[in-house]
Amino acid sequence: MSIPATAAFTATLGRELRIATRHKAEWLMPPLFFAIVVTLFALGAKPGDPQLAALAPSVLWVGALLAALLTLDRLFRGDLEDGWLEQVFVGPAPAMGMVLAKLLAHWLLSGLPLLLLAAPLALQLGFPSGAPLGWLLLGLLMGTPLLSVVGGFAAALTVALPRAGLLLPVLVLPLLAPVVIFGSGAARAAQAGLDPGGPIYFLAALLVLSLTLLPWAATAALRNAFD
Amino acid sequence: MTTLLSATALCIGRGDRRLVSDLHFALQPGDVLHLRGRNGAGKSSLIEVLVGLRPPQSGQVHRSAGDAFHWVGHRNALNPDLTLRENLDCWCALNGVPGDGIAPALDRMGLARLRLRPARTLSAGQKRRAALSRLLIARRSLWLLDEPLSGLDGEGLAVLGQLMNEHVTGEGAIVVTSHQTLPGKLPRVTVIELG
């Protein structure tokens, strides 16, 4: 008997969103953290300082990256500890569906709120509205799923390790350096009136590559967690 | 007769330590295989190899093709924040099983009145019963149970004994790890003593 991966996908997505409704405080932390970090930068700078606007893309990207890290450690750990992962891996549906659903749920609950907050926070830093803001948000639209996918892969790799919470940022931050470089590079280019197409294409390529390869790799890493 | 589960020249271990060497068996409908031994003897490691959660050091395990099986591990696979009913609904969705078997299963396990309680509020024995209720929700011929008796009170043991008896008389087979005597009257029990 085998059932399609969509069964594991829909079952897991529904389960994750339902669990999230019971843990509202946990999912409010990333956007709150993001807003606090960016606001502290604004408060620490001279009022109307043009350098703050120049640094705004980097501040927003690093803030989003750190905020997304907050919930990564628990992405698979709870399911490993309570035995749910075992049921997924011995069940008839491909486990890949579960992994994709967990990553999508992480983006919906963590990445999407950051994206929605980014525009007001960027304006607070003096980043210009109009086309440059649009490019910044387009970069974040492609970059925040990358934070979930790459971070999810690292979370799967470390799920069975004790004190993985310390290891995870060290593993994830260098992997996500290109995302920050291209994401903030696109916004800076738009801010300077240059064509931001190049870095945006790089971000798109990274997203497609990660979505294609990393869910498989994360599934394999989770399977090894039982050994 | 159909062989539901077989092992050929199976060797398993942890690190440098060999736990099981050259194990052969074939499990047919009506059989119960009781893996017994002291703590750390390798009961759970062996059953996890039989389930497919970890690879053997050498040898082969074969489950009859296309036949789904029930796995009740020593963890109950219940999310503490979801209610009992929600936990079982998720399991049904994951396994492509209709949820209409949940209510009778909970009733049989004595958990019907607890179905809307978050799993975190249940006692260890109630959680164990909830995990075992999956055996009734979907009919599968092979059951692999890791320490299913742990946490159960006398009534829970009696219900589990009845379930196991009904399963093997209905052409099912069971592999069970426990250091205790199995409950119920089971007609064909083979014991493998580990350690």
Proportion of chain B above pLDDT 90, given as a percent: 77
Positive or negative, the Cα torsion across A180, A182, A187, A192? positive
- Give the residue from A129, A136, A146 showing the smallest Cα distance to A199: A136
Residue B15 CB neighbour total at 10 angstroms: 5
Quick check: A19 contacting B, CB < 8 Å? Answer: yes
Q: Nearest residue on chain B to A3, judged by CA atoms?
A: B96
Taking the CA atoms of B119, B96, A212 and B54 in sequence, report the sign of the dihedral they define.
positive
Judge whether residue A48 has pLDDT over 90. Answer: no
Helix (H) or strand (E) holding A124: helix A112-124
d(CA A107, CA B105): 36
Across the range B58-75, mean pLDDT stands at 86
Contact yes or no for B93 and A23 at CB 8 A: no
DSSP lists the bridge partners of residue B69 as B142
Tell me how far apart the alpha carbons of residues A62 and B98 are, in angstroms, rounded to a whole number. 46
Q: How confident is the model over A76-87, as a mean pLDDT?
A: 94
- Positive or negative, the CA dihedral B46, B52, B53, B58 is positive
Chain A / chain B CB contacts < 8 angstroms: 79
B16: Cβ contacts below 8 Å, ≥ 6 apart: none
Q: What are the chain A neighbours of B55 within 8 Å (beta carbons)?
A: 227
* Sequence-ordered list of residues with C-beta below 8 angstroms from that of B155, at least 6 positions apart, any chain: B110
pLDDT at residue A201, as a whole number: 97
Select the residue from A87, A88, A227 to test the B interface by mutation, using most B Cβ atoms within 10 A: A87
Q: Is the pLDDT of residue B65 over 60?
A: no
Predicted pLDDT at A29 = 92
B138: buried, middle or exposed (CB in 10 Å: 19+, 13-18, 0-12)?
Answer: middle
Of B55, B80, B93, nearest to A11 by CB-CB distance is B93
Alpha-carbon gap: A146 to the closest alpha carbon of chain B (Å): 26
Kindly report the nearest CA distance between residue A200 and chain B, in angstroms: 37
A166-188 per-residue burial string, b: 16 or more CB within 10 A, e: under 16: eebbebbbeebebbbebbbbbbb
Q: Does A18 touch chain B (CB under 8 A)?
A: yes
Helices (H), chain B: 43-51, 84-95, 102-108, 124-137, 154-169
How distant is the Cα of B66 from the closest Cα of chain A, in angstroms? 5
Are A12 and B78 inside 8 Å of each other by CB?
A: no
**A169: Cβ–Cβ under 8 A, 6 or more apart, which residues?**
A69
Report the C-alpha gap between A81 and A129 in whole angstroms: 46
Taking every pair of Cα atoms in chain B, the longest distance, rounded to a whole number of angstroms, is 48
Helices A112-124, A50-69: inter-axial angle, 10-degree rounding: 160
Angstroms from A25 CA to nearest CA on chain B: 14
Contact flag A226-B48 (C-beta cutoff 8 Å): yes
Average pLDDT value over all residues in chain A: 92
Per-residue pLDDT reduced to its tens digit, A94-128: 999 999 999 999 999 999 999 999 999 999 999 99
Copy the structure tokens of residue A173.
Answer: 């931050």
Best of A12, A15, A96, A102 to disrupt the B interface by mutation (most B CBs within 10 Å)?
A15
Using alpha carbons only, give the angle A72, A73, A77 rounded to the nearest 5 degrees.
120
Q: Average pLDDT, stretch B8-37?
A: 91
Q: What is the pLDDT of residues B157-168, one digit of tens each?
A: 999 999 999 999
B29-45 mean pLDDT: 91
Q: pTM for this one? A: 0.91
Number of neighbours of residue B53 by Cβ within 10 angstroms = 20
Model pLDDT, residue A1 = 60
Report d(CA A130, CA A193) in Å as an integer: 12
Interface contact A226, partner B, CB < 8 A: yes
The residue of chain B with its CA nearest to that of A91 is B95
Instruction: Look at A226 and B53 and tell me if their CB atoms are within 8 Å.
Output: yes
DSSP code of residue B121 = G
Distance between CA A65 and CA A51 in Å, rounded? Answer: 21
Question: Once rounded to an integer, what is the mean pLDDT over residues A126-153?
Answer: 94
Q: A159: number of CA atoms within 13 Å, CB side?
A: 27
Q: What is the ipTM of this complex?
A: 0.92
Task: Report A:87-126 residues touching B (Cβ under 8 A).
Answer: 87-93, 98
Mean predicted confidence (pLDDT) in B104-126: 95
> Does residue A227 carry a pLDDT above 80?
no
Asked if the Cβ–Cβ distance from B94 to A7 is below 8 Å, we say: yes
Specify the pLDDT at position A164. 77
**R_g (Cα) of chain A, nearest Å:** 18
pLDDT at B66 over 70: no
Interface of A with B in 138-157 (CB under 8 A): none
Quick one: closest CA in B to A2, which residue?
Answer: B66
Asked if the Cβ–Cβ distance from A226 to B68 is below 8 Å, we say: no
